Amino acid sequence: MEMIQTGYRLPPPPGCPRGIYQLMIHCWNPDSNHRPTFKDILDTLAEDPEGLLHWSDENKAVHESSSVLGSDLEAGQDLYPELQQIFVKSKMKI
């Protein structure tokens, strides 16, 4: 619980595209007033399903198996570090 309170969020699972992880991060906002509603989530998923599932070559370079669903969790540790740290930074600003 202490890690969550300091802003830690789980890294994305291997094979998780940036758009999906970004949605996950928004759902984990420490301020419940800033979390998306179910309608917001549905709209996001319906808006551009192909875009949400896009996997860039840059992300593939992070770890050789980071783009493979079911890989070891360590493969996703270094994906999207700026998203993983978003609440650590916002916590500092408060």
48-52 LR contacts (CB < 8 Å, sep 24+)? 48/19, 51/19, 52/17, 52/19, 52/20, 52/23
Q: What is the pTM of this model?
A: 0.70
Element (H, E) at 71: none
pLDDT tens digits for range 12-55: 887 788 888 899 999 999 899 999 999 999 999 999 877 777 66
Mean pLDDT of 69-82: 71
- What is the pLDDT, as a whole number, of residue 11? 84
Q: Between 2 and 23, whose confidence is greater?
A: 23
User: What backbone torsions phi and psi does residue 85 show, to the nearest 5 degrees?
Assistant: -100, 0
Predicted local distance difference test score (pLDDT) of residue 92: 44
- For the chain, which residues make up each domain, given as ranges? 2-93
